[in-house]
Structure 1
Amino acid sequence: MSASTRKRRWLTIWAITASAALVAIPAGAAPGGSGSPFGARALARLAADREHSVGALTPKAKADDDDGNEADEIAEGADQYAEARTSPGIVAPGAYGAAWTSLTNLPATGGSWRNITDLPYDSDDSRYRDIDSNSSGGSGDVTGRMAAIAADDDGYVYAGSAGGGVWRSKRGGGNWKPISDKLPSQSTGALALDGAGRLWLGTGEANTNADAYLGSGVYVLSDPHHGSFSTRSRVGGDELESTTIRQLRFAGGKVWAATSEGVWSHSTKRLTGAWKLEFAPNPDYLPGGSKAHDDSAAYKNITNDIAFDPKDPSKVVLAVGWRSGDDYNGFYTKSSKGTWTRITSGFGDLPTDADNVGTVTFARAADGSRYYAIDESPEQMASNPDSGLEGIYSAASPFGPWTKVADYKQLAADGSALTSSGYMPGVQAWYNQFLTVDPANPKHVYAGLEEVYESRDGGATWSTVGPYWNFGFSCWSIDPAKQTGDCNQTTHSDQHGVAIGRYHGKSFVYVGNDGGVYKRPVDGAQDTSGHATDWTSLNDGTIDTLQYYSVGVGKDLDHGGVSVTGGLQDNGQSVLRSNDTVMGSDFGGDGGDTLTDPANGCDTAEEYVYLSVQVTQNCAVNDGSWVTDASKATSYNVAPADNATSEARFIAPLATDAKDSNTWIAGGRHVWVQTHGYAIRSGSEWKSVYDLGAGRTATAVAASGGKVYAAWCGPCNNQGFARGISVGNADGTGWHDISLPADGTVPNRYLSGFAIDPKNADHVFLAVNGFSRHWTEGPGAGVGHVFESTDGGTTWKDISANLPDVPTNAALVLSNGGLAVATDLGVVYRAPGRTRWQRVGSLPAVAVLQLKPSPDGRTLYAATHGRGIYTIKVRDLR
């Protein structure tokens, strides 16, 4: 595996995760009272319909073959992230709202959470400068994804994160404070300052990626310099609950919101009263409509942006459409009679046909003399592996005629770093977009895709002022002695938000991306290649929005205490030694599951995707040899064979035997076992001990004393969803499928985790994802989220009791005999000998994806997807 192969992986955003992918918008979170949250993972109904994700392409990237289109990986990951919460059916509105109400009404345990990752996280930490990290790429200090940015002329900057709320700086960036922790949604879709200086927040991230969350509406802060958002500051009623909000625009005494359920408006003077639905292209698919429960409802009314005639605010253009294409995609305008019609002519170069209008962003010059637009093309996204960008356009009026001022080939030729990695600008144009105009110069434009671009002449020429990274440039070498010194800091990749503001009399541009917030002077300096020389990371550690999927804890043998590591959305693997004041990153790309030796925290294994596993026995600290040969590196590729055949899930399960850290279990189509522990050096050292069967893939694995449990699904989506449990021994003997009763004792939903009693391997707990049948309209959805077996999985009992009906992600038997469960809305706990559940601490409305104990069992570690890693003392859980 070459250095470039590993580093190219950074382009994935989890499908989301992750980031990130082509399916998004959950049907889950729901209208409800003003106190309901809305953390549904992005994807509800869309994930069930692969026809609508980027050409229904399948992932190709593997551990040693990374030549596939990584946008396809994102699509696959998005599908799978959604499947866990929606299969076997679709989730009805109201689910997350009811869950949040139930959770906040639970009795609380003692103790309080402590954030241990609220310190700088240096992606360029020189200790880990290795071919499997992204160190020296140029992103510097990073944090989690920022979806929106706002800034004023008094030095105040506001950063809206994907899952960790809104943060304020009064120093032009840095020294951040959270200002939305009281809200039931920590997911940001849009931030905007109005003419009166009020800060408007539209909740619900609208990047249509996998780990996006729905929102609870729009909020306004009258004194953003000093105040904090509260539920009392919500604008209007519950009309915008359970939507995503991509843009907030102001005109004619109104605020307009482009949402996943049409375009709405509200008075900016009288904040009470309902929002008005201005336009929805397919109203039958809205909540309450005749087709509201159709599988395609989630993407039938997506709107992207709004542009107004500055001389007549009643004249408006709407950019409408689902990024993967639908027959309603296009631009619409309102007639004097109040009816909406599609624009079909007179628009110039900017397409009006449905196939070439996807995700769109507008920007207007302060004096109204110029307008700009970015357009992503569904047709290109489905057919062109290089880019989904149709182009960047300019016009004197939002009604056209528009002139194309850039396409992806032009941007690629203007200093892009993507081409050295085999991609082109706009390869993820459905996910990465921002656009803004310098208030002092209508021809000075900043555009964001995967990179940051700048034009000072209205789009005639462009510079890549924020390249994807420095890898591939002639100035870069893995050996610092061989660098020319011309590689400057850049921003993290994958751009989402932008704002221009002033601090100490100087103008700055602020950008938000998958690595947090960065700034540079608006009229900043460039080198001869057009790359900026003056970016500053504002991710100083006071802002922790890190999106963890996993956490691992082991003794720090060099410094005492413990070493904590974890896998992150688009920010690799973090390493926090006990004496660190700055976290480092020893693996690049997306970080999936994590294994850490409790006896030695530098013995770690990190998953990328599809069981692509790297292992190190020295925390991947570079030994100074600066090798580019993977066989001589400080980490080793040890992927099981299911990685090469793509028969593992995007984020596949890994575990060590609770009694023997040298025995590892991995789950794909097969259950894999290796007994070399962290001394493993090759994927060939894994042994398949059980074939789950064609079309099946593991969703959770656990082992104790040689007894192995494996949960699987197959098919894993709504079309014939099935799940099961297989049990056997690590030596390959005794394997069999558990016969789950047809009475629904264990629901027909995604099985997400096991927790084995350390005193008895036949005593095991099962965490079940998704919502129960009250909310899930699918066969066999069943009830309950936590189940217990005392006979090795042969029979199960529902022990959910008063547990809120919320997706559960993981479970852990604690050293005191109690049971902790991670959910999409926090952590719950059942004390030894009790049957009722308590809420652990008071985390904001953030998902917890994994729980791990400290080596001595006295501390519980929680990996949150938006607010870093937290700990709490087990003795305090009373």
Structure 2
Amino acid sequence: MCAVTLTALGLTTSQAIAAPAPATQLRPWQARHLAEIGHQHAQKAGTGQVGPVFSATAEGGGEDEGDEAENSAEATEQFTEARTAPGVVAPGAYGAAWAQLQSMPHTGGSWDHVTDKPYNSDDPRYRDINSNSSGGSGFVTGRITGVAADDDGYVYAGGANGGVFRSRTGGGHWQAISDKLPSLSTGALNLDGRGRLWYATGESNTGATSYVGTGVYLLADPKGGEFQPGNRIGGAELESTTIHALRFGGDRVWAATSRGVWSHSTTDLSGPWTLEFAPNPSYLPGGADAKAPNAPYKNIANDIAIDPKDPSKVVLAVGWRSGDTYNGFYSKAADGSWQRISDLGELPTGAGDVGNVTFAASKDGSRYYAVEQSPTKTATDPDSGLQGVYVSKSGSPMGPWTLIADKDRLKGSGSALQDDGYQPGIQSWYNQFLQVDPNDAGHVYLGLEEVFETTDGGANWTTPGPYWNFGFGCWSIDPAKQTGDCSPTTHSDQHAVAIGSNHGRTSVYVGNDGGIYSRPLHGALDAGGHAKDWKSLNDGTIDTLQYYSVGVGKDPKDPSGRGVIVSGGLQDNGESILRARDKVMGSNFGGDGADTIVDPNNGCNTAEEYVYLSIAVTNNCAVNDGSWTTDASKATTYSVAPPDSALGGGGARFIAPIATDDKNTNSWVAGGRHVWVQDNGFAIRSGDEWKSAFDLGAGHVASAAASSGGTVYAGWCGPCNNQGFTRGIAVGNADGTGWHQLTLPVDGALPNRYVSSFTVDPADAHHVFVSFSGFSRSWTEGPGAGVGHVFESHDGGATWTDVSANLPDVPADSLRLLSDGGVALGTDLAAFYRAPGAKDWKVIGGNLPTTTVMQLKTGPDGQLYAATHGRGIWSFDLHRLGRGHRDDED
């Protein structure tokens, strides 16, 4: 399950550690999470900030250290800064790289989809205190940020970075229908009155996601067709934006984007989009301030409300979630200009009140609903950033609006979020949806961290989809002690909703960080107000899993001796494990999953990073031993976090690097402020066993690390954002000797961009490759952005040669030196291979979806494994490249 935003949590360190445990008895990763939050809030409190908190990248204020990945502010910021620093990336960069990709040659062979199986987050094999198991989410996949449904059983689901899937059976048996597009990042998904499917690319979960899109696409025949690049509406106006919402009024479609509000005719599909309103136009591309570091945050639009009785009356909800002077609601004045609205009744309109906003209208035009997040509350309220839920009983977005719910009313409706510092709306800047029953204007579904429902226009609320079941009296880790009335629930963190019918049965569909779920529109509730009839539609045919890492090792229980265990760390879905003969994946670690180490000779020896170097290790795949206890001393895993972990004083990146030495799996390296080394391998039992090999320096944190034969390379950044961005590479020995910082001037041979990966020649530790994220100076305005993404050194980093050759100019993420001397590279677009002695690169295989390849690993089975951040894990038989390959270790 997710962690929560630092700006939303007002716990001090002592409050976090002393917080009373709920009835569940906190699991270790939950306790780590709460203590981590307290540590981070204490850091923030020390800055003296009293108002809305702006990230350094966004507004030049203090930088919050460490919220949770892609569904937290800091993690998303870190994900973005790795791809943008040292400056702002110009529009068109990704599109140009994709265009170049189309003309590149491919190797032989094809990829095999490893994770095209159901993923059971409640797998009883791993039901111990470190897992999510028994929380009630069931089968899960990656984040779903767009949902649409009709009355003929067709359902469409859009993954955060996985593209659009279609079901003809009311959910399930999914088919990918957008894989030919240059972007698989979903911002919004809508069916219009003519049955056409609109796909807005560019996920807008914070207003500045790294995965911007390439515009809006229209599929005239969604029941039988597939999206093509030629389906794009307009020109390049919406390229490199995020799109929060599409709304229809009259004969126009309106788009709320990260670069203002745009509109287009729905009848004449030719011609460009029209810019309707941008509050700070000088920060748009081509403007005088377009190169300012905070430019991406100055024109964010969240939603659009159109009066159903008069489509010329439009209200815009505009503003960055952390607050800015331009935040507010806008409508068009008589002179045609857009003016801020000062009074909407009980719906607050001040700049500090208006953050993320979602609108929903009833089909009969009698009601308009809104949910509003407050930047001020997000920064100051220790429990929630939610301003409230409101209704306009006139049916007009001009109001007057009346409050019908706040955090306290929702907390009392059966919510699982009862702890101080963790109550409904804690992530309302990230989690929001609203849907009105088309046949009942008083029946509304609300999505925050949980799913809420009212059947009487907001007078009373229930929580049909609680966060999890851990806090309820019906729950016990021991199945024999469960009372039997804990109903399945949805995964947490809600993003999208739709209503549709199949064979006359009407259902509500919700998309969240665990995929897509459905229940009857008028479903059954238990005594606690929780739904008894949720159905997970994540049947394995839809794979939008967002991996950060992958690890592979032999399965000790496979009778053939050839089977492997594949594990990987996931955004908000823990650690997945797939054993050799499994038909269903399980989850043996909870929370987020970050980097991973797996013993190539025994895949049940696994080290999993939660986040911020908070590492746990298991020697039996974390299989439950039957004791059914919440006693950490009897767990199947051990916490072995080094001192730079979330609770340490040194600091670390959200996804911090951990790795084994290429020649000695018992020697591990981990990177925070320090380069940490331990030599006990998977027998480690305590964080005290880590020793600091080198201090990277105050303000510096490791971004990549590799070790071979005791020689360690560590890449670092600090500051890591585009305000003063610096990077470096330190080299030394695992025993702490011989360490030195390489001389890397800003305008030197290596670009001043984020160091993302190393791979070291096992025959010569002085022969090393390094990769860089971000875009070259052709697209990036910033000191020393340079050119190139892959560099090679034969003298331990004293000198470097750019070997990028024909690679597209796109962020590079992961390098792997293969046994034949060839090199594999994972990027934000594809995976590439450079044969030994060759200059140019080729695309590996022909069927890997166009999504981010976060990490490449080679397994003991001769396969190359790719962890993608949006379409699961894939494998490639290296022998298909036409050359022999020895088995490489993790």
Counterpart of 2:369 (choices 366, 369, 372) is 372
1:406 is matched with which residue? 405
Deviation at 1:331?
A: 1.2
Deviation at 1:6?
A: 3.8
Deviations 1:580-625 (A, max 9, x none): 0000000011100000000000000000111000000000000000
The letter of the residue matching 1:676 is N
**8 Å CA contact 1:766, 1:786 repeated in 2:** yes
1:43 is matched with which residue? none
- CA pair 51-572 structure 1, distance change in 2 beyond 3 A: same
Deviation at 1:224?
A: 0.9
**8 Å CA contact 1:712, 1:725 repeated in 2:** yes
Pair 1:677 & 2:681 matched: yes
C-alpha separation between the residues in 2 aligned to 1:721 and 1:185? 28
C-alpha separation between the residues in 1 aligned to 2:866 and 2:70? 30
Instruction: Report 1:276-287 matches (<5 A).
Output: 276-287=274-285
1:546 is matched with which residue? 545
1:388 is matched with which residue? 385
Deviation at 1:833?
A: 1.3
- CA pair 327-9 structure 1, distance change in 2 beyond 3 A: farther
- CA pair 369-336 structure 1, distance change in 2 beyond 3 A: same
Deviations 1:228-262 (A, max 9, x none): 11112111222111111111111111111111111
C-alpha separation between the residues in 1 aligned to 2:699 and 2:71? 18
C-alpha separation between the residues in 1 aligned to 2:330 and 2:225? 38
C-alpha separation between the residues in 1 aligned to 2:626 and 2:771? 44
Q: What SS is found at the alignment partner of 1:464? A: strand
**8 Å CA contact 2:244, 2:302 repeated in 1:** yes
Deviation at 1:271?
A: 0.7
Deviation at 1:474?
A: 0.5
Deviation at 1:718?
A: 2.2
1:790 is matched with which residue? 794
C-alpha separation between the residues in 1 aligned to 2:339 and 2:446? 29
**8 Å CA contact 1:47, 1:80 repeated in 2:** no
C-alpha separation between the residues in 2 aligned to 1:854 and 1:563? 10
Counterpart of 1:58 (choices 62, 65, 71) is 65
Deviation at 1:356?
A: 0.3
Pair 1:690 & 2:687 matched: no
C-alpha separation between the residues in 1 aligned to 2:468 and 2:101? 42
C-alpha separation between the residues in 1 aligned to 2:128 and 2:60? 38
Instruction: Report 1:193-592 matches (<5 A).
Output: 193-208=191-206, 212-345=210-343, 347-396=344-393, 397-420=396-419, 422-559=421-558, 560=561, 561-592=563-594
Deviations 1:489-533 (A, max 9, x none): 000000000001111101100000000000000100011110111
**8 Å CA contact 2:55, 2:64 repeated in 1:** no
Counterpart of 1:850 (choices 827, 833, 855) is 855
Q: TM-score by structure 1 length?
A: 0.93
C-alpha separation between the residues in 1 aligned to 2:727 and 2:220? 50
Deviations 1:35-80 (A, max 9, x none): xxxxxxxxxxx96525478x74434xxxxxxxxx869993222232
**8 Å CA contact 1:77, 1:210 repeated in 2:** no
The letter of the residue matching 2:445 is Y
**8 Å CA contact 2:573, 2:590 repeated in 1:** yes
- CA pair 575-71 structure 1, distance change in 2 beyond 3 A: closer
C-alpha separation between the residues in 1 aligned to 2:291 and 2:740? 38
Instruction: Report 1:624-635 matches (<5 A).
Output: 624-635=626-637
- CA pair 48-57 structure 1, distance change in 2 beyond 3 A: closer
Deviations 1:781-811 (A, max 9, x none): 2221111111222222111112221111110
**8 Å CA contact 2:58, 2:293 repeated in 1:** no
Deviation at 1:658?
A: 0.7
- CA pair 853-781 structure 1, distance change in 2 beyond 3 A: same
Instruction: Report 1:774-789 matches (<5 A).
Output: 774-789=778-793
Where structure 2 has 5 or more consecutive residues not aligned to the other structure, the ranges are 1-16, 38-43, 45-53, 883-890
Number of matched pairs:
836
- CA pair 593-488 structure 1, distance change in 2 beyond 3 A: same
Pair 1:828 & 2:832 matched: yes
C-alpha separation between the residues in 1 aligned to 2:310 and 2:431? 31
C-alpha separation between the residues in 2 aligned to 1:499 and 1:382? 31
Bigger shift: 231-240 or 490-499?
231-240
1:867 is matched with which residue? 871
Deviation at 1:846?
A: 0.4
The letter of the residue matching 1:277 is L
C-alpha separation between the residues in 2 aligned to 1:211 and 1:341? 28
Deviations 1:3-36 (A, max 9, x none): 5254548999x99xxxxxx9xxxxxxxxxxxxxx
Deviations 1:521-547 (A, max 9, x none): 010001111011100000000000100
1:99 is matched with which residue? 97
Once superposed, what is the RMSD of the aligned Cα atoms? 2.0
Deviations 1:268-325 (A, max 9, x none): 1111111112222222222222222222221211111111222211111111111111
Deviations 1:539-568 (A, max 9, x none): 000000100000000000101410000000
**8 Å CA contact 1:71, 1:427 repeated in 2:** no
Bigger shift: 113-122 or 304-313?
304-313
Deviation at 1:875?
A: 1.8
Bigger shift: 275-284 or 402-411?
275-284
The letter of the residue matching 2:573 is N
Q: What SS is found at the alignment partner of 1:419? A: coil
Q: What SS is found at the alignment partner of 1:380? A: helix
Pair 1:4 & 2:26 matched: yes
C-alpha separation between the residues in 1 aligned to 2:403 and 2:31? 31
Q: What SS is found at the alignment partner of 2:142? A: coil
Deviation at 1:428?
A: 0.5
C-alpha separation between the residues in 2 aligned to 1:502 and 1:115? 31
Q: What SS is found at the alignment partner of 1:817? A: coil
Deviation at 1:421?
A: 7.7
Bigger shift: 689-698 or 490-499?
689-698
The letter of the residue matching 1:365 is S
Q: What SS is found at the alignment partner of 2:771? A: strand
2:7 is matched with which residue? none
Deviations 1:748-797 (A, max 9, x none): 21111110112222211111111122222111222211111112222221
C-alpha separation between the residues in 2 aligned to 1:709 and 1:129? 38
Q: What SS is found at the alignment partner of 2:261? A: strand
C-alpha separation between the residues in 2 aligned to 1:701 and 1:637? 21
C-alpha separation between the residues in 2 aligned to 1:278 and 1:818? 51
C-alpha separation between the residues in 2 aligned to 1:572 and 1:75? 19
C-alpha separation between the residues in 2 aligned to 1:10 and 1:398? 43
Q: What SS is found at the alignment partner of 1:127? A: helix
**8 Å CA contact 1:469, 1:492 repeated in 2:** yes
- CA pair 317-50 structure 1, distance change in 2 beyond 3 A: closer
Deviation at 1:411?
A: 0.5
Deviations 1:59-112 (A, max 9, x none): 4xxxxxxxxx86999322223222211222222222212211222222111111
2:143 is matched with which residue? 145
- CA pair 581-610 structure 1, distance change in 2 beyond 3 A: same
Where structure 1 has 5 or more consecutive residues not aligned to the other structure, the ranges are 16-21, 23-45, 60-68
Instruction: Report 1:36-185 matches (<5 A).
Output: 48-49=56-57, 51=59, 56-59=63-66, 74-185=72-183
Q: What SS is found at the alignment partner of 2:418? A: helix
C-alpha separation between the residues in 2 aligned to 1:714 and 1:743? 17
C-alpha separation between the residues in 1 aligned to 2:208 and 2:717? 19
Bigger shift: 408-417 or 1-10?
1-10
The letter of the residue matching 2:754 is Y
Deviations 1:324-376 (A, max 9, x none): 1111111111234422221112x110011111011111111110111110000
C-alpha separation between the residues in 2 aligned to 1:590 and 1:71? 8
Runs of 4+ off more than 6 Å: 9-12, 69-73
The letter of the residue matching 2:359 is F
C-alpha separation between the residues in 2 aligned to 1:200 and 1:851? 34
- CA pair 250-211 structure 1, distance change in 2 beyond 3 A: closer
The letter of the residue matching 1:4 is L
